[in-house]
Structure 1
Amino acid sequence: MKLQSQLNLAFSALLLVILTAAGFVTYSLILDMLIDDEKAELRQKGELLVEVINEQYGTLKNDQQLSDFLEEQNLQLFLYSRKQNSVLFYTMPRQFVEGFSKEDYFENKEEELWEIGNRKYVTSRILFYPESSGMELILLTPLNDLQKVQQDFFRRLLIVFIIGAIAAMMLSYFLTNKLVTPLSRLKHQLKKIEKRKFDDVEPINATGEIREVAESVYDMATELQRYMNTQQAFFQNASHELKTPLMTIQGYAEGIRDKVFDQADEEKGLEMMVTEVNRLKTIINEMILLAKLDSSQTEYQPETVRTSEMIQQVLDRTLPKVNEKGIELTYDEDPESTLFVDQEKLLRALLNITVNAIRHAPSRVNISVNGKTIIIEDDGDGVSEDLIPHIFHRFVKGKNGETGLGLAIARAIIEQSGGKITVDDSELGGAKFTIRFL
Structure 2
Amino acid sequence: MKLQSQLNLAFTTLLLVILTAAGFVIYSMILDMLIEDERAELKQKGELLVEVLNEQYESQPGTKGFRNFLQKQDLQLFLYDRRQDRVLFSTMPDRYVQGFSSNQYFADNRENLWDAGSSKFVTSRILFYPESTGLELILLTPLNDLQAIQQDFFRRLVLVFIIGTIAAVLLSYFLTNKLVTPLTKLKRQLKKIEKRKFDQLEPIKATGEIKEVEQSVYDMAAELERYMKSQQTFFQNASHELKTPLMTIQGYAEGIRDKVFDEADQEKGLEMMVTEVERLKKIINEMILLAKLDSDQTTYHPEEIHAQELIDQVLDRALPIVNENSVALNHEVNSQVYFTADAEKFLQALLNLTFNAIRHAHTKVDITVSKQMITIEDDGEGISKELLPHIFHRFVKGKTGETGLGLAIARAIIEQSGGKIMVSDSDLGGAKFIIILPK
C-alpha offsets along residues 392-428 of structure 1, whole Å, 9 cap, x if unaligned?
1001111011111000001111122222222222222
Partner of residue 296, structure 1: 296
Alignment of 1:7-406 (within 5 A): 7-58=7-58, 61-406=61-406
Unaligned runs of 5+ in 2: none
Amino acid at match of 2:319: L
The Cα shift of 1:118 comes to: 1.9
TM-score (norm 1): 0.95
Partner of residue 426, structure 2: 426
The Cα shift of 1:380 comes to: 1.7
Alpha-carbon distance between aligned partners in 1 of 2:387 and 2:323, rounded to the nearest angstrom: 29
Alpha-carbon distance between aligned partners in 1 of 2:64 and 2:326, rounded to the nearest angstrom: 142
Alpha-carbon distance between aligned partners in 1 of 2:278 and 2:202, rounded to the nearest angstrom: 48
Alpha-carbon distance between aligned partners in 2 of 1:71 and 1:255, rounded to the nearest angstrom: 142
More deviation in 211-220 or 156-165? 156-165
The Cα shift of 1:18 comes to: 0.9
Aligned length: 438
Amino acid at match of 1:433: F
Alpha-carbon distance between aligned partners in 1 of 2:219 and 2:140, rounded to the nearest angstrom: 78
Alignment of 1:407-426 (within 5 A): 407-426=407-426
Alpha-carbon distance between aligned partners in 1 of 2:93 and 2:237, rounded to the nearest angstrom: 112
Alpha-carbon distance between aligned partners in 1 of 2:349 and 2:53, rounded to the nearest angstrom: 112
Amino acid at match of 2:41: E
Alpha-carbon distance between aligned partners in 2 of 1:363 and 1:296, rounded to the nearest angstrom: 38
Alpha-carbon distance between aligned partners in 2 of 1:308 and 1:241, rounded to the nearest angstrom: 37
CA contact (8 A) 1:60 1:66 kept: no
The Cα shift of 1:391 comes to: 1.0
The Cα shift of 1:35 comes to: 0.5
Unaligned runs of 5+ in 1: none
Alpha-carbon distance between aligned partners in 2 of 1:405 and 1:189, rounded to the nearest angstrom: 35
Alpha-carbon distance between aligned partners in 2 of 1:379 and 1:203, rounded to the nearest angstrom: 47
Partner secondary structure for residue 317 of structure 1:
helix
Partner secondary structure for residue 79 of structure 2:
strand
More deviation in 403-412 or 164-173? 164-173
Amino acid at match of 1:365: V
Alpha-carbon distance between aligned partners in 2 of 1:57 and 1:310, rounded to the nearest angstrom: 119
Partner secondary structure for residue 114 of structure 1:
strand
Partner secondary structure for residue 74 of structure 1:
coil
CA contact (8 A) 1:372 1:436 kept: yes
Alpha-carbon distance between aligned partners in 2 of 1:202 and 1:286, rounded to the nearest angstrom: 40
Alpha-carbon distance between aligned partners in 1 of 2:362 and 2:68, rounded to the nearest angstrom: 133
- RMSD value over aligned CA atoms? 1.8
The Cα shift of 1:250 comes to: 2.6
More deviation in 200-209 or 113-122? 200-209
Alpha-carbon distance between aligned partners in 2 of 1:130 and 1:427, rounded to the nearest angstrom: 112
The Cα shift of 1:58 comes to: 4.2
Amino acid at match of 1:69: F
Alpha-carbon distance between aligned partners in 1 of 2:208 and 2:369, rounded to the nearest angstrom: 44
Partner secondary structure for residue 7 of structure 1:
helix
Alpha-carbon distance between aligned partners in 1 of 2:202 and 2:60, rounded to the nearest angstrom: 96
CA contact (8 A) 1:331 1:368 kept: yes
Using a 3 Å threshold, how does the CA distance of structure 1 residues 60 and 267 change in structure 2: closer, same or farther?
Answer: farther
The Cα shift of 1:363 comes to: 1.8
Amino acid at match of 2:72: E
The Cα shift of 1:181 comes to: 1.6
Partner secondary structure for residue 120 of structure 1:
strand
Alpha-carbon distance between aligned partners in 2 of 1:168 and 1:385, rounded to the nearest angstrom: 61
Report sequence identity in percent.
71
Amino acid at match of 1:307: A
Using a 3 Å threshold, how does the CA distance of structure 1 residues 203 and 437 change in structure 2: closer, same or farther?
Answer: farther
TM-score (norm 2): 0.95
Alpha-carbon distance between aligned partners in 1 of 2:427 and 2:69, rounded to the nearest angstrom: 119
CA contact (8 A) 1:202 1:218 kept: no
Amino acid at match of 1:8: N
C-alpha offsets along residues 191-226 of structure 1, whole Å, 9 cap, x if unaligned?
111111112223323221111111111111111111
Partner secondary structure for residue 382 of structure 1:
coil
Amino acid at match of 1:303: E
Alpha-carbon distance between aligned partners in 1 of 2:277 and 2:136, rounded to the nearest angstrom: 124
C-alpha offsets along residues 163-188 of structure 1, whole Å, 9 cap, x if unaligned?
22222222222221221121112111
The Cα shift of 1:141 comes to: 0.2
Partner secondary structure for residue 202 of structure 1:
coil
C-alpha offsets along residues 97-153 of structure 1, whole Å, 9 cap, x if unaligned?
111122222222221111222211101111222323322211100111111222222
The Cα shift of 1:61 comes to: 4.5
The Cα shift of 1:340 comes to: 2.2
Amino acid at match of 1:167: A
